[in-house]
Amino acid sequence: MGDSRDLPNMLDVVMNSIQMLQHELGNFKAISADVRINPDLSEYTWIEFYRATELIERGAEAAERALPEIRRVLSQRSPAFSRMQNGG
């Protein structure tokens, strides 16, 4: 049997399980969304609140990249939005 120091502690296991569950729940809830904005947050953990500015910047960048798709969906759904985009 291996050294117990190689095993994750129970709190790590529970927190990782909760994080995975939240991720999957978010994916499930987003199924009906017309546009999904998915910033790359792979280098962050759920507890890094002190990095809020960086996280917000990542979200803003992802939102900027999604704007063409958002405009496309809005123009399909709203004739008024389409006219505004075309200067009318």
Q: What is the pLDDT of residue 51?
A: 96
Report the chain's mean pLDDT, rounded to a whole number: 86
Domain ranges, residue 45: 4-85
The pTM for the full model equals 0.64
Whether 69 shows a pLDDT value over 90: the answer reads yes
Element (H, E) at 77: helix 52-77
Q: What is the pLDDT of residue 7?
A: 66
At 28-68, the pLDDT tens digits run 888 888 999 999 998 988 789 899 999 999 999 999 999 99
pLDDT category at 19 given cuts 50, 70, 90 is: confident
Neighbouring residues of 41: CB distance < 8 A, sequence distance ≥ 6: 55, 58
The total of structural domains in the chain comes to 1
